[in-house]
Amino acid sequence: MNLFSKRMTGGVLLMATALFLLLPASGYSEPFDHEHATWNLLVKNNVHWDLNRTASQVNYSGFQNTHDFLQRYLSSLSSVTLAEFDTFSREQQLAFLINAYNSFTVELILTKYPDVSSIKELGSFFSSPWKKKFFNLLGESQSLDGIEHDLIRGSGRYNEPLIHFAVNCASIGCPALLDEAFVADKLDQQLLESTERFLQDRSRNRFDVKIRTLDVSSIFDWYEVDFTQGWRGYDSLDDFFRTHADWIADDTESAQALREGELQVEFLDYDWNLNSLP
């Protein structure tokens, strides 16, 4: 075994030990952990930022090595009843659903990893991977689309456009998978920071002041309606882009031009390749 292998093995053992200490004693039922400590430790060890900290890559092999702990975390999510969920605060509910989407997405990738290069390969001719019901949540068989479009967007409870920068579809084109769990007491900060990172990623969003063209992710095409409802004060996509001009533009002059000018918006192709470490 070479030195790198020894370090990797030691890291897995240390993480496994830490995860073991987070587990409740056998036969003892605890309230749901709103700190999402197990998921927090898993992503801290298996999510890696690029140099600009605007995009992340996932060590799916690391998740495989501690798969038992991921499955126990998923079981803790599945054990929450709808009645219990309804007692959670708005922030606790939304953090729960975002973490559920992200962790069940990792679980879906692991069903075929390493023999998968895109999440789109995990669907079928008749159904996309996002419509596949492969887990239970809040008392019913559920899919990733069910979490995002029914429980979050369709429930009328949250009215939160920034969730599009928090849920991660295991693809390079997606906003980064965060290296920490979303938690209620800092949810707003985490959503804003995730939005800032995504808008600052020039492979996904960029403004050419010379030709007054704003090239942005297809996410804004697919979910434009969520930025036109007055949620968080956004009445249109242009309003959203102007509000966050400092995150999109590379200098003060460009940001001012973005705030004041009529926007020519173009949507970029989406990269569905797996967001895995090379």
Contacts of 58 (CB under 8 A, 6+ apart): 46, 47, 48, 106, 170, 177, 275, 276, 277
| The predicted structure's pLDDT at residue 5 | 41
> Two tokens at 28?
């003892």
Which structure tokens are listed for 55? 């995009």
pLDDT at 2: 43
Q: Please give the pLDDT value at position 16.
A: 59
Extended strands (E) in 117-200? 135-137, 140-142
| Cα-to-chain-centroid distance, residue 24 | 27
CA atoms of 233 and 57, how far apart (whole Å): 32
Q: What is the pTM of this model?
A: 0.91
pLDDT of residue 6: 41
Confidence at residue 30, expressed as pLDDT on a 0 to 100 scale? 75
pLDDT of residue 124: 81
**Cα–Cα distances in angstroms (integers) from residue 224 to residues 74, 218, 221, 256, in the given order:** 31, 10, 5, 23
Given a cut of 50, the residues of the chain with pLDDT beneath it are 1-10, 25-28
Please state, rounded to an integer, the average pLDDT across all residues of the chain: 92
- Euclidean distance between CA atoms 259 and 253, whole angstroms: 10
User: How many other β-carbons are positioned within 10 Å of the β-carbon of residue 234?
Assistant: 20
- pLDDT, position 261: 86
